[in-house]
Amino acid sequence: MKPTRLFTIPFAAMALAVTMGRAAVRADDAPLVQPVAFLKATEFDEPAPAPTQGDDNIVYRLVHRLIPEGDRGRPPACDIASPGPDTANYPNSPLTLPKGRSYIETVPGTFSLAGSDGTPGTWSWPFMMRTGLTDSCELRLISQGPTVVGPTATSPAIDGFAPLVFDLKIHLWGDADQLYVPIVGVEVFVLTGAASKPFQVGTEPGIELLFDHRLPGDWVIEWNVGVFGSGGNGIPDILSLPDLGAQWAVQKQLTDTVAVFYHGFYNAAGIPYFPSDLVSGLGVQWNASQRLAVYTTYNWSLDGVGSPSGGFTGFAYAY
């Protein structure tokens, strides 16, 4: 017997089985065995039953598969105006994205001038990625991004990637359509050690309360107050003493797409970062389309500590 004949009988049996299987399929027009798609997760790849064009994406489907609930109908349209970008000014809104909806916010033109007290000039490219886990809770990934800190009289310039921050924002109560009733939210976050070596300050938690007041005449007042760890050289592995910080903004909606604001912070710039203790500034936001917003501000120190002035320009995209 030739060695190749060892494989003849098994192959013949397999061929017979396949032939019989095909006959069975042809007999009732239904396969006996459904194939398994190892390389395709159909529940994520296939569109929703009644999608709104352009608004049904993989992130939306993934969130609804991981956190299922009853039939919500058509996906809500992407809207950069509701709840609006958080990086346009210093305070964060207590309103959250609808479940499955996402923003990416990026501020490539972030800079501060060198101060007379030895504070170095800086440039960075902050970003924020945020997705609604439910209609009242959103998950956010934040970083100051690529950062360059200029030289001083006692230290050379440094550059690298700023720490990643994992953030959870929760809308507690209130509605944007109600006048005078404050909208309230809470934000909890953890600054991690995922950063370039010059910017590693350890793992630091923080919490903020978020407030929003809607007033007649399309005026909005936002303010945040909270505590956070400041980190620092020499304490990379232990928690620092918490610091108190606050941010605020007064905004006027000029048209349906253009708003101007006066904003500032005490002891906590958040994102984008500004190296000073007490700062105010002026800015403008333009919603260029239903999905895209662009904004720019210029800011200055009120107490003469740190950088005397600086600004940022960025955009946010809804998907």
Q: What is the pLDDT of residue 231?
A: 61
Q: Note the pLDDT tens digit of each residue in 134-182.
A: 999 999 999 999 999 999 888 899 999 999 999 999 999 999 888 889 9
In a domain? residue 198: yes
Nearest CA among 172, 152, 174, 148 for reference residue 162: 148
Strand partners, 245: 226
Report whether pLDDT(19) > 50.
no
Q: What is the pLDDT of residue 163?
A: 94
User: What is the Cα–Cα distance from 56 to 100, expressed in whole angstroms?
Assistant: 9
Report whether pLDDT(256) > 80.
yes
CB count in 10 Å sphere of residue 243: 14
Give me the mean pLDDT over the 99-122 stretch. Answer: 94
In a domain? residue 10: no
In a domain? residue 28: no
> Considering its fold, how many domains does the chain have in total?
1
Question: What pLDDT band is residue 17 in, cutting at 50, 70 and 90?
Answer: very low
CATH number, domain of 111, equals 2.40.160.40
Angle at 237 between CA 235 and CA 240, to 5 degrees: 50
Who wins on pLDDT, 66 or 39?
Answer: 66
Range of the domain at 176: 80-318
In a domain? residue 50: no
Query: Tokens 């101007």 sit at which residue?
Result: 260
Contact by Cβ (8 Å): 102, 131: yes
Q: Note the pLDDT tens digit of each residue in 173-212.
A: 999 888 889 999 999 999 998 999 999 888 889 999 999 9
Give me the mean pLDDT over the 24-31 stretch. Answer: 46
Report whether pLDDT(312) > 50.
yes
In a domain? residue 306: yes
Tokens at 221, concatenated:
């007042």
In a domain? residue 301: yes
Give me the mean pLDDT over the 232-246 stretch. Answer: 63
Q: What is the pLDDT of residue 299?
A: 97
In a domain? residue 168: yes
Contact by Cβ (8 Å): 63, 133: yes
Mean pLDDT across the chain:
84
What does the DSSP assignment read for the chain? --GGGGGHHHHHHHHHHHHHHHHHHHHHTS-SSPPP-TT--HHHHSPPSSPPTT---HHHHHHHHHS--S---SPPPP-TTSS--SSSSSSPPS--PPBT-EEEEE---EEEPPPTTSPPPEEE--EEEEEEEETTEEEEEEE--EEEE---SSS--EEEEPPEEEEEEEEEE--TTSSSSPEEEEEEEEE-S-S-GGG----EEEEEEEEEEEETTTEEEEEEEEEEE---TT-TTSPPPEEEEEEEEEEEE-SSSEEEEEEEEES---SS--SBSEEEEEEEEEE-SSSEEEEEEEEEESSS-B-SEEEEEEEEEE-
- pTM for the predicted model, two decimal places: 0.80
Report whether pLDDT(42) > 80.
no
Out of 44-53, 79-88, 223-232, the most confident range is 79-88
Report whether pLDDT(30) > 90.
no
Q: What is the pLDDT of residue 27?
A: 45
Give me the mean pLDDT over the 230-239 stretch. Answer: 51
In a domain? residue 279: yes
Question: What pLDDT band is residue 113 in, cutting at 50, 70 and 90?
Answer: very high
The amino acid present at 197, given as its one-letter code, is K
